[in-house]
Chains A and B, each alone.
Chain A
């Protein structure tokens, strides 16, 4: 066409088309989103420590492997209680004069999603040890180690946190391994990553693409207490293994062992179910256990599968607890706490 033999007309037309489309799919939606979304009522702005921690997160490029988005699909149910919505990210603004906003949604899950990590794993001790050497708590992790976020000292000052590192990961360090300010700030940021509760239940997006329920295996009666299709070992691996380890031995000085534990082996599973649901903090030498059951909305069947796995593995030999009994205990616990 003769029209396009004029370079001005050609390139202005091309640019105009491109710019028009850019407005439609990028600029206008972004402006629209900015205008129509505010942080949720229950959400708290980041504390100073958490803001500094977010800068550490950005500095070390954690977004390269970790996402912070719970998608509205069934398989993301393990990462949060509800799918993420635009308002969850509305609190993010331009970092500073030199940098753009950091929503940190991420594009790759080499490591787990962190949108709700503050609920799922709030333990400071766990995070510090995990940062120092991930393989100390998760043996097969490929996350890089961050020993440069820690200092080696002979005496700790008040307010500083020392971490107990198992010998094989100490690399011969004799002094005390202490978390630097950056490490504490980073953990503060991780602890702040919680999904805000949405009270308007009608507006909560649904998890799509539900899995079809598996057919119950014939003859797997409730006498054994094993729900058809629920893998106790897999559930343990997802919810408990990062602290109590695959061999049930935990980590001395951080997480107690389940192997040979009186609480686990007790014939009356009340305390065990209470711990799984609501957490536990009786001894200062161990880290605080979060309420894993509450955070992950575990059902009675799932808890039954988990504790049965604990009660029958690693030379443990206690009776299996059927889901019905667990359900009764959970109801009693809820009543006692007035929930």
Chain B
């Protein structure tokens, strides 16, 4: 469009005006600064101050008036220029011919264009010919809690496999409730040590009952049960042997029952954490896991896909590693003297990192994209995380014994490896969070995704917290304090438990076609999350204070007394967590237990056929 003069960039005249006028008046201040020296005492007198203020008021008013008048004068100059411009433009417009005017009118119509209301929807009336719309809520009721999406009606899973999985998850739920009841009781004992004095319930015996029950009872059974779904699913075939799966279930449950009883009776493997079950009992667990390894490997070997999906990398490797570390931890050949401690550090950490974490990551690589209905962000990142986890995680076991008599070089390797852990953790976290990209809105509408999201966040923070604990100065403050208890719960609970819950809430309704009540799932989530925060934050804070007190050389008993309020808060948080597990158990019941529900349609048709109505089948299919 060349007929219009291009609007030359008019420097905003008004800005000039303000700068000009303000600068002038400020410059005038330099004159005012040359006040003669008045005795300070005089100026601080109230009467004098009031008088000076009274004098300043008309002066300020005059100043303001002056600024306003200058502004207006400069403005008038500017507007005169604008008016001249307008007159020249009007003169130009009078010179236009008819053709140019028509062009201008067309341009105006184009600029005023509005999309007609039915441009996208068309003129046809709406009709749902393929059953895409369902669950239309015609009553606009304001819900107290926002409604979450229900799981889709998908083809049925093999009933035999369903039964196996549900038994795994059901027994896992039992051990969760049992194990955390014990844990809750232990937390109470911290603040009320004389609550009981029975030998079977004394703290030193109950503590390993709690840790082993939630490790081998709850976490392992839940993981394996979910694995029995994922491993064949991502290979697009069936599990090799369901019968072997039952053997695993029975063996692991027996191990935990016998182990818990043995520990309460005082039969203990020597105090190495998480391997307090004596070897005959742990062997039951080990055999169960070996059976599952054969099962999984055969299933993977028989897969119909060409590649092995990354979930199976993690899951099967985790099972292999679990067997390896159990053998290394129990074989006595290299465990005299401090060797036991080196093995203990190795075992403790590979247990949580290469069994629980690796397996659970494999589950997340399946369930998260499934729940988001999006592919994993980057397959390569998943592979990078896999190899770097094996490389770095294996090295870090000795960080449990920094500053002990273990060789300094081994401790340093552990600390360096702990720093290297940033690689798998950051790649894993990035992978998961980026998978959410574009689907963040789904989180508020789903009752499984919040669990996954919390798990991912704690995966990042909890793992790097572990890295931070390994560095020498922070180890100095936090070692032996309750800070490590906070860390272990942030990780085993915040990561593993939350992920497992997310997977369980995703898969069980799929299997049983019964949804849990959404309100109680929400309550479970929030109580578990809030409880965990009440648990870990006071312990982290108190633990830091404790360590600093020790470094300051304060008497030990003072640090015990100091911790009491933090232990109390921990017990409160723990209670919230424990109640949330009861609610979880209730949700499991609601999902699994057969609801004797009346199928209204079927019963109605039965009624019709009884009353001698002739049923006419329109579609030639069974009603």
Which A residues contact B (CB, under 8 angstroms)? Answer: 4-5, 7, 10-11, 14-15, 17-19, 21-22, 25-27, 29-31, 33-34, 37, 58-65, 67, 69, 71-75, 78, 83-86, 88-95, 98-110, 112, 134-135, 138, 140-148, 208-209, 211, 234-235, 237-238, 241
CB pair B194–A237 under 8 Å, yes or no, is no
B22 interface hit (Cβ, 8 Å): no
Task: Check A108/B189 contact, CB under 8 A, given A37-B338, A92-B337, A144-B204.
Answer: no
User: B278 to chain A: which residues have CB within 8 Å?
Assistant: 98-99
With both chains docked as a complex, state the minimum distance between the C-beta of B439 and any C-beta of chain A, in angstroms.
29
- In whole angstroms, what is the CA distance A301 to B597 when docked? 82
The stretch that binds A, out of B75-83, B175-183, B395-403, is B395-403
CB pair A144–B390 under 8 Å, yes or no, is no
CB pair A142–B480 under 8 Å, yes or no, is no
The 8 Å CB contact of A146, one of B202, B273, B339, B401, is: B202
- Mark B15-49 against chain A: 1 for CB-CB distance below 8 A, else 0: 00000000000000000000000000000000000
CB pair B560–A237 under 8 Å, yes or no, is no
B510 interface hit (Cβ, 8 Å): no
B470 interface hit (Cβ, 8 Å): no
- In whole angstroms, what is the CA distance A203 to B125 when docked? 93
The 8 Å CB contact of A65, one of B204, B267, B342, B343, is: B204
Cβ < 8 Å to A, chain B residues 329-360: 329-330, 332-344, 346, 354
Cβ < 8 Å to A, chain B residues 263-279: 263, 266-273, 275, 278-279
With both chains docked as a complex, state the minimum distance between the C-beta of A18 and any C-beta of chain B, in angstroms.
6
Task: Check A69/B404 contact, CB under 8 A, given A7-B308, A98-B279, A241-B557.
Answer: yes
CB pair B280–A33 under 8 Å, yes or no, is no
User: A10 to chain B: which residues have CB within 8 Å?
Assistant: 308, 313
The 8 Å CB contact of B208, one of A61, A73, A104, A140, is: A61
The 8 Å CB contact of A89, one of B337, B394, B481, B553, is: B337
Q: A11-B317, A61-B206, A90-B336 are in contact. List 9 more A-B contacts (CB 8 A).
A: A14-B386, A15-B324, A17-B391, A61-B207, A92-B336, A98-B279, A99-B269, A101-B339, A148-B198
CB pair A61–B324 under 8 Å, yes or no, is no
How big is chain B's contact interface, by range? 35 or more
Task: Check A25/B394 contact, CB under 8 A, given A5-B307, A102-B270, A142-B560.
Answer: yes
Q: List 15 A-B contacts (CB under 8 A).
A: A14-B313, A15-B321, A17-B390, A19-B324, A22-B394, A25-B394, A27-B328, A34-B337, A60-B266, A69-B401, A86-B407, A100-B270, A103-B338, A109-B480, A135-B193
User: B390 to chain A: which residues have CB within 8 Å?
Assistant: 14, 17-18, 21
B550 interface hit (Cβ, 8 Å): yes
CB pair B336–A93 under 8 Å, yes or no, is yes
The 8 Å CB contact of B342, one of A7, A26, A91, is: A26
With both chains docked as a complex, state the minimum distance between the C-beta of A167 and any C-beta of chain B, in angstroms.
16
B287 interface hit (Cβ, 8 Å): no
With both chains docked as a complex, state the minimum distance between the C-beta of B344 and any C-beta of chain A, in angstroms.
8
Which B residues contact A (CB, under 8 angstroms)? Answer: 189-191, 193-194, 197-199, 202-208, 263, 266-273, 275, 278-280, 297, 300-301, 306-308, 313, 316-317, 320-321, 324-325, 328-330, 332-344, 346, 354, 386-387, 390-391, 394-395, 397-398, 400-401, 403-407, 410, 413-414, 476, 479-481, 484-485, 550-558, 560-561
CB pair B193–A108 under 8 Å, yes or no, is no
User: B270 to chain A: which residues have CB within 8 Å?
Assistant: 58, 95, 99-102, 104
The 8 Å CB contact of A62, one of B190, B204, B400, B561, is: B204
Considering the complex, give the chain A residue whose CB is closest to the CB of B337.
A90
The 8 Å CB contact of B321, one of A18, A63, A112, A141, is: A18
The 8 Å CB contact of B395, one of A25, A62, A84, is: A25
CB pair A142–B193 under 8 Å, yes or no, is yes
User: A11 to chain B: which residues have CB within 8 Å?
Assistant: 297, 316-317, 320
With both chains docked as a complex, state the minimum distance between the C-beta of B296 and any C-beta of chain A, in angstroms.
10
User: B300 to chain A: which residues have CB within 8 Å?
Assistant: 7
The 8 Å CB contact of B555, one of A15, A146, A209, A234, is: A234
Total CB contacts across the A-B interface at under 8 A: 264
CB pair B394–A30 under 8 Å, yes or no, is no
User: B307 to chain A: which residues have CB within 8 Å?
Assistant: 5
User: B342 to chain A: which residues have CB within 8 Å?
Assistant: 26, 29-30, 33
Considering the complex, give the chain B residue whose CB is closest to the CB of A72.
B403
Considering the complex, give the chain A residue whose CB is closest to the CB of B561.
A140
CB pair B269–A33 under 8 Å, yes or no, is no
User: A211 to chain B: which residues have CB within 8 Å?
Assistant: 551-553
User: B207 to chain A: which residues have CB within 8 Å?
Assistant: 61, 64
With both chains docked as a complex, state the minimum distance between the C-beta of B289 and any C-beta of chain A, in angstroms.
15
- In whole angstroms, what is the CA distance A145 to B197 when docked? 6
Task: Check A33/B337 contact, CB under 8 A, given A17-B390, A141-B557.
Answer: yes
CB pair B398–A59 under 8 Å, yes or no, is no
With both chains docked as a complex, state the minimum distance between the C-beta of B480 and any C-beta of chain A, in angstroms.
4
Considering the complex, give the chain A residue whose CB is closest to the CB of B303.
A7
CB pair B317–A14 under 8 Å, yes or no, is yes
CB pair B554–A234 under 8 Å, yes or no, is yes
Task: Check A104/B271 contact, CB under 8 A, given A11-B317, A78-B553.
Answer: yes
With both chains docked as a complex, state the minimum distance between the C-beta of A175 and any C-beta of chain B, in angstroms.
17
- In whole angstroms, what is the CA distance A22 to B342 when docked? 11
CB pair A144–B193 under 8 Å, yes or no, is yes
With both chains docked as a complex, state the minimum distance between the C-beta of A253 and any C-beta of chain B, in angstroms.
22
With both chains docked as a complex, state the minimum distance between the C-beta of B504 and any C-beta of chain A, in angstroms.
27
- In whole angstroms, what is the CA distance A231 to B555 when docked? 10
Task: Check A238/B555 contact, CB under 8 A, given A26-B328, A61-B204, A101-B270.
Answer: yes
User: B405 to chain A: which residues have CB within 8 Å?
Assistant: 69, 83-86, 88-89
With both chains docked as a complex, state the minimum distance between the C-beta of B351 and any C-beta of chain A, in angstroms.
13
The 8 Å CB contact of A33, one of B189, B208, B339, B550, is: B339
With both chains docked as a complex, state the minimum distance between the C-beta of A173 and any C-beta of chain B, in angstroms.
13
Task: Check A26/B193 contact, CB under 8 A, given A5-B306, A86-B338.
Answer: no
- In whole angstroms, what is the CA distance A5 to B235 when docked? 12
CB pair B555–A29 under 8 Å, yes or no, is no
- In whole angstroms, what is the CA distance A135 to B484 when docked? 26
Considering the complex, give the chain B residue whose CB is closest to the CB of A37.
B337
Task: Check A237/B558 contact, CB under 8 A, given A7-B301, A18-B354, A92-B340.
Answer: yes
CB pair A30–B273 under 8 Å, yes or no, is no
CB pair A209–B476 under 8 Å, yes or no, is yes
- In whole angstroms, what is the CA distance A83 to B405 when docked? 8
User: A17 to chain B: which residues have CB within 8 Å?
Assistant: 387, 390-391
CB pair B332–A101 under 8 Å, yes or no, is yes
User: B343 to chain A: which residues have CB within 8 Å?
Assistant: 26, 30
- In whole angstroms, what is the CA distance A33 to B343 when docked? 11
Considering the complex, give the chain A residue whose CB is closest to the CB of B409.
A29
With both chains docked as a complex, state the minimum distance between the C-beta of A229 and any C-beta of chain B, in angstroms.
10
- In whole angstroms, what is the CA distance A64 to B211 when docked? 11
CB pair B271–A73 under 8 Å, yes or no, is no
- In whole angstroms, what is the CA distance A238 to B267 when docked? 34
Task: Check A21/B394 contact, CB under 8 A, given A61-B204, A90-B337, A95-B270.
Answer: yes
CB pair A141–B324 under 8 Å, yes or no, is no
- In whole angstroms, what is the CA distance A141 to B384 when docked? 49
- In whole angstroms, what is the CA distance A74 to B553 when docked? 9
CB pair B197–A105 under 8 Å, yes or no, is no
The 8 Å CB contact of A22, one of B324, B339, B413, is: B324
Considering the complex, give the chain A residue whose CB is closest to the CB of B347.
A26
Considering the complex, give the chain B residue whose CB is closest to the CB of A31.
B334
With both chains docked as a complex, state the minimum distance between the C-beta of B280 and any C-beta of chain A, in angstroms.
7
User: A91 to chain B: which residues have CB within 8 Å?
Assistant: 337
- In whole angstroms, what is the CA distance A212 to B403 when docked? 20
With both chains docked as a complex, state the minimum distance between the C-beta of B555 and any C-beta of chain A, in angstroms.
4
- In whole angstroms, what is the CA distance A95 to B272 when docked? 13
CB pair B204–A64 under 8 Å, yes or no, is yes
User: B485 to chain A: which residues have CB within 8 Å?
Assistant: 108
CB pair A5–B308 under 8 Å, yes or no, is yes
The 8 Å CB contact of B346, one of A26, A86, A234, is: A26
- In whole angstroms, what is the CA distance A5 to B407 when docked? 40
User: A145 to chain B: which residues have CB within 8 Å?
Assistant: 193-194, 197
Task: Check A108/B271 contact, CB under 8 A, given A33-B342, A140-B560.
Answer: no
